[in-house]
Amino acid sequence: MTDQSPEVETPIKREGETLRSLEIIIAADEVESATLEAARSMAQRLNLPGFRKGKVPLAVVRKRFAQDLQEQVLEQLASRHVSAILDKSQEAAVGLPRLKEHAFREDGSLRILAHFEVQPPVGPG
């Protein structure tokens, strides 16, 4: 896998005093690259009837295990992009962000909506 740093400018939206959300659109070429890498990794581990272990064609893997590949790609890309955005922001997340929505779009891109909590503001007291 290439070491691409996510170049996404996504504003973090304030949903409440401690709740924040962010919407991320990941480009189709990055989604395809991650899917291809996940399919290669899976093909090396598979042992399907009619194929030698580790020699399953990528087309077979992508067709037969499409749902598993999508879940793996979603988890990988969401984790990478959300972490990069939170590292660059001034918001300090309390706990792990939760994926509220995701959609693989017709153009091949991926839309992710994540929510996370931050510490409440502390006044002088």
- Any idea where the domains of the chain sit in the sequence? 14-118
Q: Per CATH, which fold does 14-118 belong to?
A: Alpha-Beta Plaits (3.30.70)
Q: Are 6 and 86 in contact (CB under 8 A)?
A: no
Compute, in degrees rounded to 10, the torsion defined by CA atoms 111, 37, 35, 101: -40
Q: What is the pLDDT of residue 16?
A: 85
Q: Please report, in tens digits, the pLDDT of each residue of the chain (125 residues total).
A: 444 444 445 578 888 888 999 999 999 999 999 999 999 999 998 888 888 888 889 999 999 999 999 999 999 999 999 888 888 887 788 888 899 999 999 999 999 999 999 888 777 76
pTM above 0.85, yes or no: no
Tokens 């990478």 belong to 80
Q: Are 25 and 85 in contact (CB under 8 A)?
A: no
